[in-house]
Amino acid sequence: MPLVYLNGDYLPLEEARVSVLDRGFVFGDGVYEVIPVYDRRPFRLAEHLARLQASLEGIRLANPHTRAEWEGRILRIVEAAEWEDMGVYLQVTRGPAPRDHAFPKQLRQTVFIMASPLTAPPRALVEEGVCAVTAADNRWLRCDIKAIALLPNVLLRQLAADAGCAETILIRDGYLTEGAASNIFAVKDGVVLAPPKSNLMLPGITYDVVLEIARGQGIPVEVRPVAEAEVRAADELWLTSSTKEVMAVTRLDGRPVGEGRPGPVFRAMHAAYQVFKHTVMRGKAQA
């Protein structure tokens, strides 16, 4: 039974309990992070904790812990886990209080941390790519906050699941924003196109890693708004996230993307990403 952290205690997952009046349960009033851990080393932990801070500020919730306290708690969960590679999920809610939309006078944040096994995408998926569908991005205008209130993302991702696909690529006012639970890149004529960070997308940690790798490898990058027509005419589409790393989208709305196979720029990026990750795992580089 995996060990989890809940409000100061380390306990088996089955024993962890929160109040039904928790504002996370009643209002979806909280924020979260998902941190990949390779060989028991959290990847880009400082960046994830910085984004957590930004999300907390975005919902006007005080950070219950210092950076060092977060690190200590996360590492303890990682050490107790039965896997070498895992995803650490953490969430902070505005805690239990009588139901009232306005913030409670007495704040007691709920802090929860758990780990679950993380397996790299299977070889076949990396070599063949995945399919995606498109949908209108009907979420709120603070998609930069990693809020636990994910109902729009859940409904949008289900459109992909209904079609037997991996992701729903979101279009707002004619432009690409991101995926239901990933960031999206397009490649045209060898140039990687990435939508700029804004309130309309989550600033992905993997997005940053991919842009860093591209620049380090001399792959041309343009960070600029990407029109829906460019998504549909792309030679390659990629999705990135902490749990899926970088994957090629080879079919979109039932039509092949480019030649319908993971393209050369994807293959270079995927290989470089693995090297980058493994270098971090061996502790040879500060990630």
Question: Min. distance of Cβ 187 from ligand PDD in angstroms?
Answer: 18
Reduced DSSP (H G I as helix, E B as strand, rest coil) percent helix, strand, coil of the chain, to 5: 30, 30, 40
Residue 147 near ligand PDD by CB under 6 A: no
Across 153-171, b (16+ Cβ under 10 Å) vs e yields beebbebbeeeebbbbbbb
Residue 182 near ligand PDD by CB under 6 A: yes
Residue number, 67 or 108, with CB nearest to ligand PDD: 67
Binding residues for ligand PDD restricted to 117-146, rule: CB under 6 A: none
Neighbouring residues of 283: CB distance < 8 A, sequence distance ≥ 6: 41
The helix/strand/coil state of 264 is: helix
The tokens describing 96, both together, are: 């239990």
| Residues 219, 227 contacting (CB under 8 angstroms) | no
- DSSP 8-state secondary structure symbol assigned to residue 167: E
Query: Residue 115 — φ and ψ, nearest 5°?
Result: -120, 150
Neighbouring residues of 85: CB distance < 8 A, sequence distance ≥ 6: 36, 37, 38, 39, 117, 118, 119, 120
Candidate ranges 67-75, 115-123, 161-169, 178-186; the one touching ligand PDD (CB under 6 A): 178-186
Question: Min. distance of Cβ 31 from ligand PDD in angstroms?
Answer: 11
Active site residue 146: yes
Residue number, 5 or 43, with CB nearest to ligand PDD: 43
- DSSP 8-state secondary structure symbol assigned to residue 227: B
- DSSP 8-state secondary structure symbol assigned to residue 1: -
Question: Min. distance of Cβ 273 from ligand PDD in angstroms?
Answer: 12
- Total binding residues for ligand PDD by CB under 6 A? 15
Candidate ranges 64-72, 125-133, 202-210, 261-269; the one touching ligand PDD (CB under 6 A): 202-210
Question: Min. distance of Cβ 178 from ligand PDD in angstroms?
Answer: 5
Question: Min. distance of Cβ 66 from ligand PDD in angstroms?
Answer: 22
Distance, in Å, from the CA atom of 47 to the CA atom of 53, rounded to the nearest integer, reads 10
Residue 243 near ligand PDD by CB under 6 A: yes
CA angle 203–208–213, rounded 5-degree value: 165
Binding residues for ligand PDD restricted to 65-84, rule: CB under 6 A: none
Residue 181 near ligand PDD by CB under 6 A: yes
Binding residues for ligand PDD restricted to 203-222, rule: CB under 6 A: 204-207
Q: Are strands 191-194 and 221-223 parallel, antiparallel or unpaired?
A: parallel
Which of 146, 197, 244, 277 is labelled catalytic? 146
Residue 34 near ligand PDD by CB under 6 A: yes
Active site residues: 146
**What residue ranges bind ligand PDD (CB under 6 A)?**
34, 153, 178, 181-183, 202, 204-207, 240-243
